[in-house]
């Protein structure tokens, strides 16, 4: 990929470049750059389903790039930015720095995951997530569904720093949601991996240890290594269940061991970003996945008690109305302090 001749690419891209800050752009072609086999499969699959509908629904061609096939992410982003695309969707927070640099260089707008310290006007759009709020709802459902009074959380540090902060905020929300049901709920927390590396075996072993300590529900947050937690839940006899993020784990959940999952739907932010490029307003505001726009929602399975699920949905409405404040815990220390009884500001 990185070895493709840039002379031809530059010639093709001369007509396609341009910032949306100049009166807008008639978007006909978008690049979707995703990790595919280098992340949780559901992460790419959900977003892929959104952009796959664009040729028919919006009249926009989408070129997909499997960035897991190259070690040169910046080169891949430069290539698609010189191929007539009017927007590049960098579908992994690990790509954000390179995507921003390439957008500044080529003047082709890029949509990235995570907050940017100094985004370029009209060139970089930032996707944010109501992460802790989704975690609160899942924690409430888990505590209301469990017969034990012990839950387990595994945060998997195998992505970017933004990923890990997102998972820790969600973990803190999970703690708060569980303790809204029972303030005495015992919660065991562990962070697995460092420097962006974690394995499914490490996660599996951590989930086994948590279950042996009595945790009935295992909330696993991270990338591809989360499958290790689901495997561990399946191995332990009893009523232990898995609580997930992003996808329904249908590929691995053959015996239905998933209680509930906090889901992302990228449709609202992807399509708003596309509209903003067309109107020349791209990057003027963050692109937020929220409870209100359906960007964050709860997936129920056949193992989700209806009363627990409905209570979680009601809590989401109360959060949206500002009646429930969820604590902010972007670090492992903050999560552990919350578990110990300290209350950070919400």
Number of domains in the chain: 2
Comparing CA positions, the residue from 281, 283, 311, 280 lying closest to residue 298 is 311
Please state the φ and ψ torsions of residue 321, each to the nearest 5 degrees: -85, -5
Same domain, 96 and 189: no
Mean pLDDT for each consecutive 10-residue tract of the chain (346 residues)?
37 40 79 90 91 96 94 96 97 96 96 89 94 98 94 92 95 98 96 82 95 96 88 89 81 75 96 96 95 96 94 97 97 96 72
Q: Are residues 21 and 98 in the same domain?
A: yes
pLDDT at 3: 41
Domain-located, residue 97: yes
Q: What pLDDT shows up at residue 120?
A: 75
- Please tell me whether residues 197 and 237 are part of one structural domain: yes
Which pair of tokens denotes residue 305?
A: 């008690």
Secondary structure element (H or E) that encloses residue 150, with its range = strand 150-156
- For residue 10, the model assigns a pLDDT of 34
Evaluate whether residue 194 is within a structural domain.
yes
Q: Please state, in angstroms and rounded to a whole number, the distance separating the CA atoms of residues 38 and 296.
A: 23
Count CA atoms within 13 Å of residue 6 on its CB side. 8
The answer to whether residues 20 and 41 belong to one domain is: yes
Same domain, 82 and 112: yes
Answer whether residue 298 is part of any domain. Answer: no
| Sequence-ordered list of residues with C-beta below 8 angstroms from that of 167, at least 6 positions apart, any chain | 131, 155, 156, 157, 221, 222, 245
Same domain, 251 and 158: yes
For position 254, what pLDDT does the model report? 58
Return the number of other C-beta atoms located less than 10 Å from residue 183's C-beta.
8
Q: Is residue 192 in some structural domain?
A: yes
Local structure of residue 241 (DSSP, 8 states):
E
Is residue 168 located within the same domain as residue 227?
Answer: yes
**Residue 214 included in any domain:** yes
Please indicate, yes or no, whether residues 124 and 181 belong to a single structural domain of this protein: no
Q: 208: domain range? A: 131-257+303-339
Same domain membership, residue 149 and residue 92: no
285, 146: one domain: no
Q: How are beta strands 296-300 and 258-264 bridged, if at all?
A: antiparallel
Cβ-based neighbours of 144, under 8 Å, separated by 6 or more: 181, 305, 307, 308, 311, 312
Q: Is residue 297 part of a domain?
A: no
139 with 213, same domain?
A: yes
69 lies in the same domain as 203: no
Instruction: Evaluate if pTM is beyond 0.85.
Output: yes
Report the CATH number that the domain containing residue 191 is assigned in CATH.
3.40.50.2300
- From the list 174, 206, 151, 218, the residue with the least C-alpha distance to 329 is 174
The full length of the chain comes to 346
Write down the residue that tokens 């690990």 correspond to.
94
What is the model's pLDDT at position 195? 67
Q: Is residue 296 part of a domain?
A: no
The answer to whether residue 344 is domain-embedded is no
């Amino acid at each position: 990929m990185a070895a493709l001749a840039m002379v031809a690419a530059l010639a093709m891209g001369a007509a396609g470049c341009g910032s949306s800050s100049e009166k807008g752009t008639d978007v006909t072609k978008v690049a979707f750059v995703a990790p595919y086999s280098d992340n949780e499969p559901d992460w790419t699959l959900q977003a892929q389903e959104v952009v796959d509908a664009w040729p028919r629904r919006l009249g926009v061609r989408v070129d997909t790039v499997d960035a897991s096939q190259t070690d040169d992410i910046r080169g891949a982003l430069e290539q698609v930015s010189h191929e007539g695309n009017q927007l590049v969707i960098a579908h992994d927070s690990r790509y954000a720095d390179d995507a921003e640099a390439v957008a500044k260089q080529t003047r082709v707008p890029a949509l990235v995951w995570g907050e940017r310290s100094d985004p370029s006007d009209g060139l970089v759009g930032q996707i944010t997530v109501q992460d802790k709020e989704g975690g609160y709802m899942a924690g409430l459902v888990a505590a209301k569904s469990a017969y034990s009074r012990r839950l387990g959380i595994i945060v998997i540090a195998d992505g970017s720093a933004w990923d890990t902060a997102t998972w820790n905020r969600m973990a803190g929300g999970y703690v708060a949601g569980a303790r809204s049901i029972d303030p005495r709920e015992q919660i065991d927390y562990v962070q697995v991996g460092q420097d962006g590396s974690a394995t499914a075996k490490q996660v599996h072993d951590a989930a086994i240890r948590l279950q042996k300590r009595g945790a009935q529900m295992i909330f696993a947050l991270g990338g591809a290594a989360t499958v290790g937690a689901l495997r561990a839940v399946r191995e332990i006899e009893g009523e232990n269940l898995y609580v997930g993020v992003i996808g329904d784990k249908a590929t691995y959940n053959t015996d239905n061991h998933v209680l509930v999952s906090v889901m992302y739907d990228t449709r609202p932010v992807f399509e708003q970003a596309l509209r903003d490029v067309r109107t020349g307003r791209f990057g003027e505001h963050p692109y937020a996945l929220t409870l209100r726009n359906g960007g964050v929602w709860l997936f129920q399975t056949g193992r989700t008690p209806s009363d627990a699920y409905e209570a979680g949905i009601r809590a989401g409405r109360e959060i949206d109305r500002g009646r429930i404040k969820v604590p902010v815990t972007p670090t492992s220390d903050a999560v552990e302090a919350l578990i110990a009884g300290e209350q950070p500001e919400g």
